[in-house]
């Protein structure tokens, strides 16, 4: 059933850190999305293609949307872990990049998982590591980021660790980079992002 609707392409009517409304041939589709998708989506009114996952339960059909293929791949892997549902899987994707998550699992870094992903305790973090150690080897992660991208990623992670949502952290860091330029050092970038929250 998961491959029943592979993607949707149409006009982005509305977006929030948790949901997008997409108009496809006159039909409005509501898709739940990870907060990481919010910054990657174009402005409302633009045409966009969103990868999808149809989650089937006895009493409900839910449609989830992803901007990047590797995020959908990880989402599906997470659903295969015992006691992990769509809500937790979305929180994982909204808290760290696919590359970061893969590194945490391979390094058996339960502390980082607990720190970054709200609602995940020691038991869940260790279960993720145990059940996903082999599976994450197959995750196709995009090539490494540039120095500027890495600095922005580190600043976003720092804000998330301070309690900011990933969507708000991304917005603050991107706004700070626009004002300061990519040549700024990480400490100055973080200070500016903190002020623009």
Residues of the chain with CATH 2.40.50.140: 7-66
**DSSP type of residue 109:** -
Per-residue model confidence as pLDDT tens for the chain (197 residues): 455 789 999 999 999 889 999 999 999 999 999 988 887 888 899 999 999 999 888 777 899 999 999 999 999 999 999 889 999 999 999 888 888 899 899 999 999 888 888 878 899 999 999 999 999 988 876 544 444 566 777 777 777 777 777 777 777 887 787 777 656 677 777 788 787 66
What CATH code is assigned to 147-195? 1.10.8
The topology under which CATH files domain 69-138 is DNA polymerase; domain 1 (1.10.150)
Q: What are the helix (H) ranges across the chain?
A: 36-40, 69-79, 86-95, 98-106, 110-116, 122-132, 147-161, 166-180, 186-195
Residues of the chain with CATH 1.10.8: 147-195
What CATH code is assigned to 7-66? 2.40.50.140
């Amino acid at each position: 059933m998961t491959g029943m609707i592979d993607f949707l392409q149409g006009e982005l009517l509305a977006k929030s850190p948790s949901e997008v409304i997409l108009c496809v041939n006159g039909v409005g589709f509501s898709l739940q999305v990870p907060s990481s998708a919010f910054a990657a989506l174009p402005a409302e009114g633009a045409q966009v293609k969103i990868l999808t996952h149809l989650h089937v339960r006895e009493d409900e059909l839910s449609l989830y949307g992803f901007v990047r293929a590797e995020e959908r791949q990880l989402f599906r892997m997470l659903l295969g872990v015992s006691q992990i549902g769509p809500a937790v899987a979305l929180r994982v994707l909204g808290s760290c990049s696919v590359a970061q998550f893969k590194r945490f699992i391979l390094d058996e870094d339960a502390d980082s998982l607990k720190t970054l992903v709200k609602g995940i305790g020691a038991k869940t973090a260790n279960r993720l590591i145990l059940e996903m150690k082999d599976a994450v080897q197959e995750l196709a992660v995009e090539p490494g980021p540039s120095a500027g991208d890495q600095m922005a990623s580190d600043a976003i992670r720092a804000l998330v660790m301070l309690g900011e949502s990933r969507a708000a952290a991304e917005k603050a860091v991107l706004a700070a980079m626009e004002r300061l330029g990519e040549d700024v050092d990480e400490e100055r970038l973080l200070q500016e992002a903190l002020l623009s929250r």
